[in-house]
Structure 1
């Protein structure tokens, strides 16, 4: 079995976790300042502060968890691609389920995008918050699986070569 195991870049995850912490502090400041303000402006400050705390607090918890509990972000094997590169990682996507792979960009970030033969495949596999986030993600990009290349601790060229080699084997 020819398997490539790729971990997340710890330095980049630490920076993302730290930035999440900074935004939690900013959100806390906004929430506290909103209590001192009167009227609609104070209410909006509190609402925005609370949303900021919740969103970036969850991001911070995720990054801390990934840093402590080290597991592969991506595995390319004879079975398929196993994606755990983000909170909404798709898990195992078998080669038979993959229609194509391409680079996609969104918000200034580059991703390896995987098109599946069933556009609802990843959404149907997920549940709860992950399902909601995958549905939102589908509205942003055409690809069903999006692997952020910046956070991976590997050469993108080698990864793409490995994926293409496995795809060619599957097509043959």
Structure 2
């Protein structure tokens, strides 16, 4: 068994998300430039669109330029770098269960940890806020958008099961 199972983000999907983010930034700019009778609400919407989707645009450009793995399955655990609110390394001993979850028509690899606040406690700033919001959407603590990954569900689960089983065997030998 190979030490690491590396999964890259789908380049085409990242390009698409980059373009959509840029389109919403441009839409936000148009909203700001268009004269309205009551300008307060459109101005707030325009500014929010520029800020939120501008940050998304910058994130996706960085992902496309840097081309780092989205997910790495190792003998220590799962390293999640699949999104801005990435969890980083989640060790096998911190993981209670792993399952595929559906939310709003999208499939996520859900990682359930024993400590329900683990990922929130590890993050800071805006990532902490987004992780807290994310907690209310799905029951799992780490949610990796499967549609963004360049591998099949079978390959991913096989790699997870092999390394998780190996880690459990090594842990039981220590005891």
TM-score by length of 1: 0.93
Alignment of 1:93-172 (within 5 A): 93-172=90-169
| Partner residue, 2:37 | 38
Cα distance in structure 1, aligned partners of 2:20 and 2:105:
17
CA distance in 1, matches of 2:118, 2:135: 11
1:81 to 78, 92, 101: 78
Q: Is the 8 A contact 2:8 2:149 kept in 1?
A: yes
Whole-angstrom distance in 2 between the partners of 1:79 and 1:58: 32
Query: Post-superposition, which runs of at least 4 consecutive aligned residues in structure 1 deviate over 6 A?
Result: none
Q: CA deviation at 1:166?
A: 2.4
Residues 73 and 79 in structure 2, CA contact (< 8 A), matched pair in contact too: yes
Q: Distance in 2 between matches of 1:58 and 1:163?
A: 32
Query: Is there any run of 5+ residues in structure 1 with no aligned partner, and where?
Result: none
Query: Paired residue for 2:29?
Result: 28
Q: Is the 8 A contact 2:75 2:164 kept in 1?
A: no
Q: Report whether the alignment pairs 1:57 with 2:58.
A: no
Task: Report the Cα distance in structure 2 between the residues aligned to 1:158 and 1:37, rounded to whole angstroms.
Answer: 53
Following superposition, the deviation at residue 81 of structure 1 comes to: 0.2
3-state SS of paired residue (2:69): coil
Instruction: For 1:2 and 1:9, locate their aligned partners in 2 and report how far apart those are by CA, in whole Å.
Output: 22
Q: Report the number of matched residues.
A: 168
CA offsets 1:41-84 (integer angstroms, 9 cap, x no match): x2111111111111111000000001001111110010000000
Q: Report the TM-score when normalising by structure 2.
A: 0.92
C-alpha separation in 2, matches of 1:164 and 1:49? 46
1:47 corresponding residue in structure 2: 44
**1:37: how far off?**
1.6
Question: Following TM superposition, by how much is the alpha carbon of 1:124 offset from its aligned partner in structure 2, in angstroms?
Answer: 0.5
Which whole-Å CA distance do the structure 2 matches of 1:31 and 1:160 have between them?
47
